Structure 1
Amino acid sequence: MNRILQNVALVAGCLFFAASASAAAPTLKPHHQSIKDCAVCHTAENAVAGNAFVVPSDKACMSCHGSYKDLAKKTANLGEPNPHASHHYGEGISCTACHKEHQPSKVYCNECHNFKYQIK
């Protein structure tokens, strides 16, 4: 009986979380509005303790946006140091240090500097 209650609680929790996740869909950034399935970014591979709704790994970002080197080429003309070719972090900083999907993004470099990047 205890096992049944655990399973019922797990299913109820998943349904509640799925409803919350679908409610969060409108908070997607404009350039991601075409993504209709949370599992595009929130994959089983990224899951922590079975929860796929954790911060996606860089692999999820790079599957669409390319490598840091590709991104560095795309942002080479920003007029300031290139955030995708950081001399501090190289390719070692997570995409989500700056780019947030369901909340405002921030320029992590501005923790110490004062760059005027227009972040997406």
Structure 2
Amino acid sequence: MRALQSLTLIVGCMILSAQGFAADPRLNAKHVKAGVTCHNCHGTENPDKAAVPDSSCYNCHGDYPAMAAYTKALPLNPHAPLKAGHPGPFACVDCHRQHKPPVVKCLECHPDFKLKPR
């Protein structure tokens, strides 16, 4: 009987600790599949309001020139180098907001642009 109680306790602890490692429901499916954790982006496991620096995005997705090359086939490339006097470059999270729906920052000033959030 004591062995059964011990086994039940061990299995219960394993289940509870496994839940701590479950995927965050606020992450998109691609990040979950890639095994991304809070720490990967925020630099801490309990980020609360910790900002995500662009360098965290660059680790997996590449920097602005790499993203400009990746999105070069779009009719309007949101990652292309900006003309002199144009605001920006913008932080990755200005458009690609992990815990909220994405937005297209360009549309704030250019509502006629044919760009969709991704």
| TM-score normalised per structure 1 | 0.65
Amino acid at match of 1:55: A
Q: Aligned equivalents of 1:109 and 1:95: distance in 2?
A: 13
- Tell me, yes or no, if structure 1 residue 99 matches structure 2 residue 96: yes
Structure 1: unaligned runs, 5 residues or longer: 1-21, 45-50
Q: Which structure has the larger Rg over C-alpha atoms?
A: 2
Map of 1:1-120 to 2, 5 A cutoff? Answer: 25-34=24-33, 35-44=35-44, 52-53=47-48, 54-80=50-76, 82-85=77-80, 86-87=82-83, 88-89=86-87, 92-114=89-111, 115-120=113-118
- Deviation above 6 Å: which 4+ runs of structure 1? none
Q: CA deviation at 1:89?
A: 4.2
The structure, 1 or 2, with the larger RCO (C-alpha pairs under 8 Å, 6+ apart) is: 1
Aligned residue pair count: 92
Amino acid at match of 2:114: K
| Contact 2:95-2:102 within 8 A present in 1 as well | yes
Structure 2 SS opposite 1:84: coil
Q: Deviations over 1:64-112 (max 9, x none)?
A: 00010000001011112x110133246x310011110000110001001
Q: Aligned equivalents of 2:23 and 2:109: distance in 1?
A: 31
| Contact 1:98-1:107 within 8 A present in 2 as well | yes
* Seq. identity, %: 40
Alignment RMSD, CA only?
Answer: 2.5
Structure whose residues are more often helix by fraction: 1
| Contact 1:98-1:105 within 8 A present in 2 as well | yes
